[in-house]
Chain A
Amino acid sequence: MRVVIAEDAALLREGLIRLLEDRGHTICAAVPDGDGLLAAVAEHHPDVAVVDIRMPPTHTDEGLKAALVLRSEFPGTGVLMFSQYIETSYTAQLLEGGAAGVGYLLKDRVANVAEFASALERVAAGGTALDPEVVSQLFRASRRRGGLASLTPRERQVLALMAEGRSNSGIAAGLVVSAGAVEKHVASIFSKLGLPPDETDNRRVLAVLQYLGSPA
Chain B
Amino acid sequence: MDDRIWLVAGTILRAPFTGRTVRELVYCGIGGLAGVAGFFITVFSFAAGLTITASILGTVVGLLLLTLALLVSRRLGALHRRTARWLLRYEVAAPQRFQPGKGILGRLDRRLRDRVAWRAVSYSLIKLPVAAVQLYALALAGFGLVDVSYPVLWLLFHHNSSGHLVALAPLPFGGSLYIASWPGTFLAALLGAACVIGAAWLARGITAADRALVRGLLGPSRISELERTRTLAVEDSATALRRVERDLHDGAQMRLAALALNLGMARDKLSDDDETPEVATVRELLDAAQRNAVDALADLRDLARGIHPPALDNGLASALTTLAASSAIPASVTAGLGPRPAPAIETIAYFCAAELIANATKHSYANEIKVNIHAERGGVLRLEVCDDGIGGADAAHGSGLAGLAQRVSTVDGRIDVSSPPGGPTLVTVTLPLKA
Interface residues, chain A, CB within 8 Å of chain B? 9, 11-12, 15-16, 18-19, 22, 54, 58-61, 84-89, 92, 106-108, 110-114, 116, 137-138, 140-141, 143-144
Nearest CB of A to B330, in Å: 6
Give Cα A108 to B324, complex, Å.
23
Q: Which of B254, B255, B268, B294 sits near A108, CB closer than 8 Å?
A: B294
Select from chain B the residue with minimum beta-carbon distance to A143.
B330
List, sorted by A's number, 23 A–B pairs whose CB atoms are closer than 8 Å. A9-B250, A11-B254, A11-B255, A11-B258, A12-B257, A12-B258, A15-B261, A19-B264, A19-B265, A54-B310, A84-B249, A85-B310, A85-B311, A86-B322, A87-B311, A89-B318, A108-B257, A108-B297, A113-B265, A113-B267, A114-B268, A140-B326, A141-B330
Given contacts A12-B258, A54-B310, A112 and B264 within 8 Å (CB-CB): yes
**Chain B contacts of A60 at CB under 8 A?**
310, 313-314
Is A111 a contact partner of B290 (Cβ separation < 8 A)?
yes
Q: Given the complex of chains A and B, what is the CA–CA distance between A18 and B324 in angstroms? A: 38
> Do A107 and B325 touch (CB < 8 A)?
no
How many chain B residues touch A (CB < 8 A): the figure is 39
Q: A89-B311, A112-B264 are in contact. Are A59 and B325 (CB under 8 A)?
A: no
The distance from the CB of A7 to the nearest CB of chain B, in whole angstroms, is: 9
Interface residue B133 (Cβ < 8 Å from any Cβ of A): no
A138: B residues at CB distance < 8 A: 325
Please tell me which one of the listed residues A18, A140, A143 contacts residue B265 in the complex, with CB atoms under 8 A apart: A18
Bound form: Cα–Cα A89–B330 in Å: 16
Q: Which residues of B contact A116 (CB under 8 A)?
A: 264
| Chain B residue at minimal CB-CB distance from A142 | B330
Q: Which residue of A lies closest to B310 (CB)?
A: A85
Q: Are A140 and B327 in contact (CB under 8 A)?
A: yes
Residue B262 is within 8 A (CB to CB) of chain A in the complex: yes
- Measured CB to CB, the closest approach of chain A to B28, in angstroms, equals 59
The reply to whether B254 and A61 form a contact with Cβ atoms under 8 Å apart is no
Q: Mark B362-394, 1 if CB is under 8 A from A, else 0.
A: 000000100000000000000000000000000
Q: Look across to chain A and name the residue whose beta carbon is closest to the beta carbon of B297.
A: A108
**How many A-B Cβ pairs are below 8 Å?**
105
In chain B, residues 242-269, which have Cβ atoms closer than 8 Å to a Cβ of chain A? Answer: 246, 249-250, 253-255, 257-258, 260-265, 267-268
User: Can you name the residue of chain B whose Cβ is closest to the Cβ of A84?
Assistant: B253
Q: How far is the CA of A16 from the CA of B264 in the complex (A)?
A: 11
A85 to B298 Cα, complex, angstroms: 10
CA gap between A92 and B317 in the complex, in Å: 13
Give the complex CA separation of A12 and B200 in angstroms.
77
The verdict on B140 contacting chain A, using a C-beta distance below 8 Å, is: no
Tell me whether B325 and A111 are in contact (CB under 8 A).
no
Are A113 and B257 in contact, with the CB atoms below 8 A?
no
Specify the chain B residue showing the minimal Cβ separation from A144.
Answer: B330
Contact among B258, B322, B325 for A15, CB-based, below 8 A: B258
State in angstroms the CA–CA spacing of A140 and B327 once bound together: 8
Bound together, the chains give a CA A60 to CA B311 distance in angstroms of: 8
Among residues of A, the one whose C-beta sits closest to the C-beta of B290 is A111
Q: 4 smallest A-B Cβ distances: which pairs?
A: A88-B325, A60-B313, A111-B260, A107-B257
Q: Could you tell me the distance between the alpha carbons of A148 and B304 in the complex, rounded to whole angstroms?
A: 33
Residues from chain A with Cβ under 8 Å of B249 in the complex: 54, 84
Chain B: minimal CB distance from A110 (Å) = 4
What residue of chain B has the Cβ atom nearest to residue A60's Cβ?
A: B313
Contact yes or no, A137 B268, CB < 8 A: no
Quick one: which of A22, A92, A107, A113 contacts B297, CB cutoff 8 A? A107
Chain A residue with minimal CB distance to B293?
Answer: A111
- Shortest Cβ distance from A139 into B: residue: B325
CA distance A22 to B265 in the complex (A): 9
- How many Å from the CB of A57 to the closest CB on chain B? 13
Give A110 to B297 CA distance when docked, in angstroms.
12
Residues from chain B with a CB closer than 8 A to the CB of A11 are 254-255, 258
CB-CB under 8 A from B326, the residues of chain A are 88, 137, 140
Task: Please give me the residue from chain B that is nearest to A86 by CB atom.
Answer: B322
Contact of B261 among A86, A106, A110, A140 (CB under 8 A): A110
For residue A182, give the distance in angstroms from its CB to the closest CB of chain B: 24
Q: Once the chains are docked, how many angstroms separate the CA of A213 from the CA of B267?
A: 37
- Given A84-B301, A89-B318, A143-B330, A110-B267 contact (CB < 8 Å): no
B321 is an interface residue with CB less than 8 A from chain A: yes
Nearest CB on B from A145, distance (A): 10
Query: B residues within 8 A CB of A9?
Result: 250, 254, 258
User: Within 8 Å CB of B265, what residues of A?
Assistant: 15, 18-19, 22, 113
Cβ–Cβ < 8 Å partners of A140 in chain B: 325-328, 330
Residues from chain A with Cβ under 8 Å of B261 in the complex: 12, 15-16, 19, 110-111, 113
Taking CB atoms, residues of chain A closer than 8 Å to B298 are 108
Contact partners of B263 in chain A: CB under 8 A:
111
Q: A12-B258, A59-B246, A84-B249 are in contact. Are A110 and B318 (CB under 8 A)?
A: no
Q: Which residues of B contact A15 (CB under 8 A)?
A: 258, 261-262, 265
Contact for B313 among A61, A84, A110, CB less than 8 A: A61
A54 to B249, alpha carbons, bound, how many Å? 9
